[in-house]
């Protein structure tokens, strides 16, 4: 997934269609000078509809659409003919797309299933024609309902990627390097922070032709839950991962403190994230001897952890086995 092609946030102005007005036509034919009301109903205004598509992974196709308008319903006609409905606009979006009101940031709904459809903006109902208002005491009503007005406004769509394993760590912790080693993904790798600005997905092959999906989440920093370092944009991608693989580099000054900061940021963003299965990987372990590994293991005595090295391949297969076991437990 190329970084330039991955879009996980769009803001669009949507407008549904007006409902068509009902007709107040009176029947007038030869030899029937007073035929009574025969006005038809107005057509419904067009809806704006979102449809889930399991084959899509990005909101790129909506990036340059700033305005989306549905069609208006047509007015009713004579002989009780109903006006045509306005044209609906159906937009396909990836699974995990969250829709919010742009002004209030209120959560509206989330698309989670393939072919699931949700009405984002409801078209106005068509007005009733005068035939509906005929009564024994009013045989010739000369009024009809106007159509209901359209609905309009700015909406935000955010994408939460779906993966089995989400990599969680500080910038430059080695997440992208690990993904490039265990899968065919080719994320950008460099020795400076925030090399990864969008999530990268990789399919990790396991034994007996089995596989699972791993997501390289952009690095988290302290204060991410408050939006520091684009933290809110990054953290939401963790919500749809089945399990979390925390990564703390062996050359960290304080391994436990770094791990606790990551946990704290997840907890403040969404406490439910801590209910997910977690595994800690002490990466860049080729820098450690057995004595240092034992010392670090004592720090994490109560926390499931494993020492790995993407450079030398140390324990990479053991890591995949451990993840597969946790995903299927």
pLDDT tens digits, residue range 225-277? 444 444 456 677 788 888 999 999 999 999 999 999 999 988 988 889 899 99
* pLDDT at position 195: 46
Determine contact, residues 193/145, Cβ cutoff 8 Å: no
- The better pLDDT of the pair 174, 93 is held by 93
**Is the CB of residue 284 less than 8 Å from the CB of residue 251?**
yes
CA 304/CA 232 separation, integer angstroms: 27
> What separation in angstroms does the CA of 288 have from each of 150, 231, 306?
65, 31, 13
Give me the pLDDT at residue 57, please. Answer: 82
Mean pLDDT of 85-102: 95
Q: Which fold has domain 3-159?
A: Spo0b-associated Gtp-binding Protein; Chain: A, (2.70.210)
> Which residues of the chain are in CATH 3.40.50.300 domains?
163-327
Range among 77-86, 153-162, 180-189 with highest mean pLDDT value: 77-86
176, 200 contact by CB (below 8 A):
yes
Position 193 scores a pLDDT of 43
Per-residue pLDDT tens digits for 195-228? 445 677 888 999 888 889 898 877 675 654 444 4
Indicate where the chain has its CATH 2.70.210.12 domain(s): 3-159
pLDDT at 234: 66
Residue 48 pLDDT greater than 90, yes or no: yes
- Contacts of 292-295 with CB under 8 Å at 24 or more apart are 292/250
176-193 average pLDDT score: 71
Laid out side by side, the sheet with 9-15 consists of: 67-69, 9-15, 152-159, 97-101, 107-111
Span 21-44, average pLDDT: 88
Task: Tell whether the model's pLDDT for residue 101 goes beyond 60.
Answer: yes
pLDDT at res. 161: 79
Are 142 and 26 a contacting pair, CB within 8 Å?
A: yes
Convert the pLDDT of each residue in 295-321 to its tens digit. Answer: 999 999 999 999 999 999 999 999 999
DSSP 78: S
213 beta partners = 203
User: DSSP code of 139?
Assistant: S
* Structure-block tokens of residue 276: 């997910």
State the fold for domain 163-327.
Rossmann fold (3.40.50)
Output the CA torsion 241→326→202→248 (10° steps).
80
118 vs 301: which has the higher pLDDT: 118
- Percentage of residues in the chain with pLDDT exceeding 90? 62
Give me the pLDDT at residue 37, please. Answer: 93
pLDDT of residue 232: 53
Rounded to an integer, what distance in angstroms lies between the CA atom of residue 146 and that of residue 13? 25
Give the per-residue pLDDT at 223: 56
Residue 187: what pLDDT?
58
């Amino acid at each position: 997934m190329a970084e330039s092609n991955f879009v996980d946030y769009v803001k669009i102005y949507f407008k549904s269609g007006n409902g068509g007005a009902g007709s107040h036509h009176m029947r007038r034919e030869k030899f029937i000078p007073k035929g009574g009301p025969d006005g038809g109903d107005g057509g419904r205004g067009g809806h704006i509809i979102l449809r889930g598509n399991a084959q899509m992974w990005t909101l790129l196709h909506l990036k340059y659409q700033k305005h989306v308008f549905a069609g208006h319903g047509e007015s009713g006609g004579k002989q009780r003919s109903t006006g045509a409905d306005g044209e609906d606009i159906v937009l396909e979006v990836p699974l995990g797309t969250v829709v919010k009101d742009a002004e209030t940031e209120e959560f509206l709904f989330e698309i989670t299933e393939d072919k699931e459809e949700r009405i984002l903006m409801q078209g106005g109902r068509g007005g009733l024609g005068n035939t509906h208002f005929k009564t024994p005491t009013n045989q010739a009503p000369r009024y009809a309902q106007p159509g209901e007005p359209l609905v309009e406004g700015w909406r935000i769509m955010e994408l939460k990627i779906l993966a089995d394993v989400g990599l969680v760590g500080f910038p430059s912790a080695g997440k992208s390097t690990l993904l490039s080693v265990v899968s065919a993904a080719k994320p950008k790798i460099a020795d400076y922070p925030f090399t990864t600005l969008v999530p990268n997905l990789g399919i990790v092959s396991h034994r007996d032709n089995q596989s699972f999906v791993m997501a390289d989440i952009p690095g988290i920093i302290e204060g991410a839950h408050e939006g520091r370092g684009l933290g809110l944009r990054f953290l939401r991608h963790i919500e749809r991962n089945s399990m979390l693989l925390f990564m703390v580099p062996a050359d960290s000054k304080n391994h436990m403190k770094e791990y606790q900061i990551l946990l704290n940021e997840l907890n403040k963003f969404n406490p439910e994230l801590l209910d997910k299965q977690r595994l800690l990987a002490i990466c860049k372990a080729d820098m450690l001897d057995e004595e240092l590994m034992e010392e670090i293991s004592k720090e994490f005595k109560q926390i499931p952890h494993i020492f790995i090295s993407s450079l030398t391949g140390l324990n990479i297969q053991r890591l995949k086995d451990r993840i597969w076991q946790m995903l299927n437990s």
